[in-house]
Amino acid sequence: MVSLVKGIASSQGGMEKSQRSLYAPMYADINECDPSNKDKYPCYGVCKNIVGDYECSCHTGYQPSGGGPKKQECNPKFPVAAQLALGVSLGFSFLVVVVLFTLMMLQRRKMNEYFKKNGGSILQNVDNIVIFSKDEMKKILKNNSEVIGQGGFGKVYKGRLKDNTLVAVTTSIEVTEAQKEDFTNEVIIQSRMMHNNIIKLLGCCLEMDVPMLVYEFAANGSLKDILHSDASHLVPLTLDLRLDIAIESAEGLRYMHSSISHTIRHGDVKPANILLTDKFVAKISDFGTSKLLTVDKEFTMVVAGSMGYIDPVFYMTGHLTQKSDVFSFGVVLLELISRRQTIYGKNRSLIIEFQEAYDQANSGRLLFDKDIAIEEDVLILEEIGRLAMECLNEKIDERPDMKEVVARLMMLRRSRKLKQENYNISRQQFFEENSIDELPKSFDDNSSSSSAELLSNLATKNSLTYRSTTGRD
């Protein structure tokens, strides 16, 4: 009964509200949003009065809960815990940004200090050398991913410039204030060395504690790799190619010693520091001990070099001269004609073995590489061996200089080429000037020796004719 009464009352209230809406012009509108009506028309958000009714919505940042904002309070869309977490995250992120920015500034300041310490203020004004930034160097080296060798002061890396040019990058010495002038002078001098048989310095990176130097790339690696690789990877080396490598290497050293405004002594001449291009052109690299010397001095307190190649005089006194490079090059010549390392077998010394061979038999034939020690080339190999022994003379003054070494090697190559030309022309003239009828009719065992003699005599006759008409020996 009670529920029925309530239902009727509710129905009457609804009818009254409906009638009030229908006949709104006949009744004054009630402002449900007025504070005085908040108990009758509750709103736990933003109240908006409309004709005959009112709307209630949650405040910005809040959302309805349960029966809506007319019946109960709205809940925040972003809880306090989430707000706290966001605040902490934002604060931490800000702190990280500040720390990173500070580290970047410190790193930049440190790189600027390295740049100044390594002579950057001087080298940046040199026209023919590129100064790479640390970031550029990382891109060139791809984070030091490819090591191709070991230089005098550290590893050598393979890199690639923006234009896809391959380069070799190596570390230099750590530059102190006392060495800054010497280091910058060395870099400037190297950058100005324009010779086909010297590896070219392209640029450097000075924004590091130890500077990095960028050189042109030699695709075939070092002469050491070619001469002394595993038997399964040995590259055939003709005498002509070995002579070319010897002459080109000697030309590079001759240029360093005499053809530039500042004389440079290499200080570490050895097959590992003679690089070969894709066409087997020899190039002198890694100036080693020369970096430890001032331009106008020949003495160093630090004797650096490679045992087996180092000049005994330099080793004992610290006195490095051009003739010290000549000594080391003499060892390289012995390796070229023997294809043996300076220390081989059971601690056998290549220098001592050749010295004993020439002292006892006046010949190094037993030590020559069998691949090139054919009868017609033995004399040339002997001359190369004797030249090497002169380079190894204990008395510095009796060693030839690199000009003489180059001249003598070129003379040997010219002599070999003339010999080959004479042989080819002799055979051609033989068949042109002598008919087949002049040869013996029978080539049985009895006539073979006479036939050989005839061929030899005719070839000699034509060879002499060639020499007399050309004037060549």
3-state secondary structure of 121: helix
* Higher-confidence position of 434 and 81: 81
CATH code of 29-79, in short, is 2.10.25
User: If phi over 0 gives left and psi between -120 and 50 gives alpha, with beta otherwise, what is residue 310?
Assistant: beta
Rounded to two decimals, the pTM is 0.67
pLDDT(356) > 90: yes
pLDDT of residue 185: 83
pLDDT of 468 > 60? The answer is no
What is residue 317's predicted lDDT score, i.e. its pLDDT?
Answer: 86
Q: Is the pLDDT of residue 291 over 60?
A: no
Q: What's residue 423's pLDDT?
A: 58
Residue appearing with tokens 């896809």: 164
The pLDDT confidence band at residue 452, using thresholds 50, 70 and 90, is: very low
Q: Structurally, what CATH architecture does the domain formed by 94-217 represent? A: 2-Layer Sandwich (3.30)
Percent of the chain with pLDDT over 70: 78
Domain ranges in the chain?
Answer: 29-79, 94-217, 226-433, 441-473
**pLDDT for 193-220, tens place per residue?**
889 999 999 999 998 888 999 999 999 9
Band of pLDDT at residue 305, cut at 50, 70 and 90 = low
Do the domains 29-79 and 94-217 sit in the same CATH topology, yes or no?
A: no
Q: What is the DSSP letter of 321?
A: -
**pLDDT per position as a tens digit, 113-150:** 888 888 888 898 888 889 999 999 999 998 777 888 77
Residue 17 has pLDDT above 50, yes or no: no
For the domain made up of 226-433, give the CATH fold. Transferase(Phosphotransferase); domain 1 (1.10.510)
Residue 152, pLDDT > 90, answer no
- In terms of pLDDT, which residue wins out, 35 or 409? 409
- Helix (H), strand (E), coil (C) string for 99-110: HHHHHHHHHHHH
Which whole number is the average pLDDT over 27-47?
Answer: 84
Res 163 pLDDT > 60: yes
Catalytic residue list? 268
Q: Mean pLDDT score of the chain, rounded to an integer? A: 80
Distances (CA, A) of 137 to 160, 176, 379: 10, 22, 51
**Sequence-distant (≥ 6) Cβ neighbours of residue 264 within 8 angstroms:** 189, 193, 256, 257, 287, 290
Query: Which tens digit of pLDDT belongs to each residue from 401-434?
Result: 999 999 999 999 999 888 877 756 555 554 455 5
Residue 331: the pLDDT is 97
